[in-house]
Structure 1
């Protein structure tokens, strides 16, 4: 395929609407688990409850402990009564946040917006497209915890409710900052974690705050021209020590989710200018876009979900497992009625 053609076409697939999971299964770890063995090119079908059986003593598991902000608000233009939807994606200063606002076309600077709880905020300026700088009330994080709704994906085609505040959050979420969940982690229960630790698996954590760009469609054309929205990450010295020790002793590094994989690969590239696979403590912003072909240096296995066609996260999975193998596994998942996307079933790639 010529480099100026739509290279994304290779990563598109058709999915029946009834395979999109609108809600998670009742018990987190009772989701189905498809296991892809890259070496053997084999596929197994299991339950997420059996995840620990694929680990050996001395392996390590890396989790993304970001916490999703209930950052979606319904608002009303104070002057006209027109309805708005606001999704707050990044804090600039104490009283200034960036938000995606719909509808955005006729929204003017200086517009006052009334929101739940009798609060008022002001549109300061358009940043770009539907992204605006918004002046918010004092103690805005606390306000969102009380009045905000969870930013569930648009393809669910329903309004978020109180159940999503539990379902759309991992059990180990700690550091507030995401406007989308690291969904591979939604399958983990406390019991799953206990089984892994009892088997001698080291569990460690990092932070990558997932933004709305995770649902942003890639632009048709060459993959090398794609740009991802920057996302903030932090990897501590403790996590680096656990991962480097695991590698030094011959263990495997399992990343939970594409966000964890991207953070680890970002930091590995910083270590000795990418000349070895050791991790160094780091924090900052990553725009790393991983697509085939790509040589992974930080991870040996990946826990993930079934992703949207031609999405950046699907391309990362294809880079790790191989495009043909991944897409054939997706076809088998469809035939076997796996549940897709954020609230769907899981995949383990070893």
Structure 2
């Protein structure tokens, strides 16, 4: 049962983006990206750069960072009985240590097949295909997961067509918990120096983990966004970090999420707390399936840093829920007019 009472038309969240504004390579240094400052209430806009973030934030702010690390999820190999080339894209590790994945060409990869995996190094291992799901995705078991991670490549989004030899640029500098198939891109702008300046100002930082699946970035195909199926994603937040968040709530401090993934964790926990008539959040490990659309009432988050998102995406709808569709669409047009760089390697906005 959807909590949204009125149709949310996907086409209302479309916009025209010149192809030249899709960032193909990251900027150096990381914090040299543009930073749009957007007032969620009035829609007023200021232009800055990311390195100025410590001067923009208040010393009472709490920042929430997602420390998930991107796995080298793209695996290449051959079928052992035909030598036909196969590419696997790991999506999610399952409780029994098997993997949910996509296969290309999918129709030629069947249950019982063994895929011989190899890469630029001399390492080789295999993947056994256990089953095919109704949507054509596969369940596989890796013979040696450690070797597979050494062989695999980071799965850059399809709109990035320029290869960057520095694969660490598609990881945040604070990533530590391996499990995502896409980066929490708002965090890509942080440097060690920038984090140091933020902490020296007295700003508190808390960490959560949400392992990002590919569905996070996919445009919605349904005409009414309420009919879109949001997939569950693993998340974890411990007691130490929950205590920082509860303290910020108690003190009425701003809680600013770095990226939409952190937003999803806090709002999922906030929704749970509200259902129990609690004012405090609880540490938890679980599966997150919250779907934030316009009309949603935010319970915990009071600010967010986020990149510029794809048309018709769930993320564009989420940030529109945080402000309004008209404010976001006006801000995006302003970004286009000022040659902001869009998507994963692009520039950012701070919405407060």
Instruction: Write out per-residue CA displacement over residues 60-87 of structure 1, whole angstroms, 9 at most, x where no aligned residue.
Output: 1010011111111112222223222211
Q: Contact 1:64 / 1:259 at 8 angstroms: preserved in 2? A: yes
- Is 1:173 paired with 2:179? no
1:133 aligns to 2:139 (yes or no): yes
Distance 1:146 1:57, change over 3 A: same
Where structure 1 has 5 or more consecutive residues not aligned to the other structure, the ranges are none
Following the alignment from structure 1 to structure 2, what is the Cα–Cα distance between the partners of residues 305 and 135?
Answer: 35
Q: Which of 306, 315, 318 pairs up with 1:316?
A: 318
Find the aligned partners of 1:251 and 1:200 in 2 and give their Cα distance.
13
SS at match of 1:284: strand
Quick one: structure 1 residues 49 and 237, their matched pair in 2 at CA, closer, same or farther if it must change by over 3 Å? same
Q: 1: CA distance between counterparts of 2:300 and 2:134?
A: 35
Q: Is the 8 A contact 2:35 2:347 kept in 1?
A: yes
Shift in Å, 1:105: 2.4
1:219-238 correspondence runs (5 A)? 219-238=221-240
Q: Which residue of 2 aligns with 1:118?
A: 124
Alpha-carbon distance between aligned partners in 2 of 1:40 and 1:11, rounded to the nearest angstrom: 20
Is 2:13 the partner of 1:19? no
**Counterpart among 105, 108, 125 of residue 107 in structure 2:** 105
The alpha-carbon distance between structure 1 residues 128 and 161, as it changes in their structure 2 partners (threshold 3 A), is farther
Q: Which runs of 5+ in 2 are unaligned?
A: none
> Is residue 2:13 matched to residue 1:7?
no
TM-score, reference length from structure 1: 0.93
Map Cα deviations across residues 21-44 of structure 1 (whole Å, 9 max, x no partner).
Answer: 111101111111011012332101
Answer yes or no: is the 8 Å Cα contact 2:173–2:191 preserved in 1.
yes
**SS of the counterpart of 1:156?**
coil
Q: For residue 151 of structure 2, what is the aligned residue in structure 1? A: 147
Whole-angstrom CA distance in 1 between matches of 2:184 and 2:164:
19
Which one of the candidate residues 199, 203, 206 is aligned to 2:205?
A: 203
Q: For the Cα contact (< 8 Å) 1:38–1:321, is it kept in 2? A: yes
Question: In the TM superposition, what whole-angstrom CA distance separates every residue of 1:83-131 from its partner, at most 9, and x where no partner exists?
Answer: 2221112222565221111221232211221211232222121023231
Q: How many positions carry a matched residue from both structures?
A: 344
- Return the alpha-carbon distance in structure 2 between the equivalents of residues 261 and 299 of structure 1: 7
